[in-house]
Amino acid sequence: MGTLSVVATPIGNLGDITLRALQTLKEADAIACEDTRVTAKLLARYDIQKPLLVYHAQSGRLAATRVLSQLGEGKRIALVTDAGTPGISDPGSELVRLARDTFGSEVRIETIPGPSALTAALSIAGVPTNEFTFLGFLPHKKGRQTLFKEIADMRRTVVFYESPHRIEKALTSLVEVLDEDRKVVVMRELSKIHEQVVEGSAGEVTLHFKEHPGEVRGEFVVIVSG
């Protein structure tokens, strides 16, 4: 029986990897990853040498076929993303679905849980987390403004990811749709040296980044309190 191990890896600090994740990577026959350079850096830190299979959103069906082929041969494949948990706003979920549809119970699919920017951000946001809506990365163009209006109408806490290229536009859009009393928490570089949390109204957070352009870099998690 082949095994697909879905392995969470650090979102920044390489010391955050779990002991079980390391053991899984050491025992895998191959590792399916987004960017071989990123994964190679992690493996080198822990002296792990394994064949790497490229699998990401643009790699196409051929890349998935290579992984499925090895699973069909009874091999153990570890699936990782560049940072965090595969399948969370990540094409890893498609590979898991393909493996289930192709092999059913003939291939074991297991989770090796660990870091996720989603849970890391919520854990220090100080907002209600008994219910929340996760939107992943927002669309670049189509439906973007409609989505911000929907965020304003939501009663639950809302979480989404944003890139440094669009974070200021996203915050400006929140200013346009949110009431002044809705708290916005913006986090960047979680678990890294320059980890930062900025909170306040949408207007206050937007003003902060306008006044500190040097901080508009890294990966962002935006939380809008319910």
Helices H / strands E in the chain, number of each: 8, 10
**Residue-wise pLDDT tens digits, 204-224:** 999 999 999 999 998 999 999
CATH of domain 117-224: 3.30.950.10
**Residue-wise pLDDT tens digits, 180-206:** 999 999 999 999 999 999 999 999 999
User: Residue 30 and residue 52: Cα distance in Å, rounded?
Assistant: 6
* Averaged pLDDT score across all residues of the chain: 95
What's the confidence (pLDDT) of residue 108? 97
Sorted by where each begins, the domain ranges of the chain are 2-112, 117-224
User: Residue 90 and residue 84: Cα distance in Å, rounded?
Assistant: 10
Chain centroid, CA 166 distance in Å = 17
What's the confidence (pLDDT) of residue 169? 95
Sequence-ordered alpha helix ranges (H) in 104-187 = 117-123, 144-153, 167-177
What's the confidence (pLDDT) of residue 11? 96
One of 3.40.50.620, 3.20.20.210, 3.40.1190.20, 3.40.1010.10 is the CATH number of 2-112, namely: 3.40.1010.10
Average pLDDT value for residue range 59-66? 87
**Residue-wise pLDDT tens digits, 71-92:** 999 999 999 999 999 999 888 9
**Residue-wise pLDDT tens digits, 8-33:** 999 999 999 999 999 999 999 999 99
At 60, the pLDDT band (50, 70, 90 cuts) reads confident
